[in-house]
Structure 1
Amino acid sequence: MPKYMLIMRGTDESNAAMMASIEESMAATRQLIEEMLKDGVLLAAEGLDDPRRGVVVDFGGAAPVVTDGPYGETKELFGGYFLLDVASQSEAVEWAKRVPAARGSKIEVRRVAGDDEVPEV
Structure 2
Amino acid sequence: MAKYLFLKHYRGAPASVNDVPMAQWTPEEISAHVRYMNDFAKRLEETGEYVDSQALAPDGTWVRYDGEGRPPVTDGPFPETKDLIAGWMVVDVDSYERAVELAGELSAAPGAGGKPIHEWLEVRPFLGNQPTVTE
Q: TM-score, normalised by structure 2?
A: 0.70
Deviation at 1:94, TM superposition (A): 0.8
* AA at the equivalent of 1:82: M
Instruction: Among all aligned residue pairs of Structure 1 and Structure 2, give the percentage whose two residues are the same amino acid.
Output: 28
1:107 equivalent among 116, 121, 124: 121
- Asked if the contact 1:10–1:104 (Cα under 8 Å) also holds between the matched residues in 2, the reply is no
Structure 2: gaps of 5 or more residues: 14-20, 112-116, 131-135
* AA at the equivalent of 1:22: I
Equivalent residues in 2 for 1:10-49, closer than 5 Å: 10-13=10-13, 14-17=21-24, 21-49=29-57
Aligned CA RMSD, in angstroms, stands at 2.4
- Asked if the contact 1:46–1:82 (Cα under 8 Å) also holds between the matched residues in 2, the reply is yes
- Asked if the contact 1:10–1:106 (Cα under 8 Å) also holds between the matched residues in 2, the reply is no
SS of corresponding position for 1:98: helix
Partner of 1:76: 83
Point out the structure with max Rg over C-alpha: 2
Partner of 2:96: 89
In the alignment, the residues of structure 1 paired with residue 95 and residue 72 of structure 2 have an alpha-carbon distance, to the nearest angstrom, of 40
Deviation at 1:19, TM superposition (A): 6.4
Q: TM-score, normalised by structure 1?
A: 0.77
RCO higher in 1 or 2 (8 Å CA, sep ≥ 6)? 1
1:56 equivalent among 54, 62, 73: 62
* AA at the equivalent of 1:15: M
Count of residue correspondences: 112
* AA at the equivalent of 1:89: Y
- Asked if the contact 1:11–1:104 (Cα under 8 Å) also holds between the matched residues in 2, the reply is no
Identify, as 1 or 2, the structure richer in helix. Answer: 1
* AA at the equivalent of 2:61: V
Deviates more, 1:95-104 or 1:81-90: 95-104
Question: 1:43-98: CA deviations, max 9, x gaps?
Answer: 111110122xx211255x76643112316x82211111110110111101111111
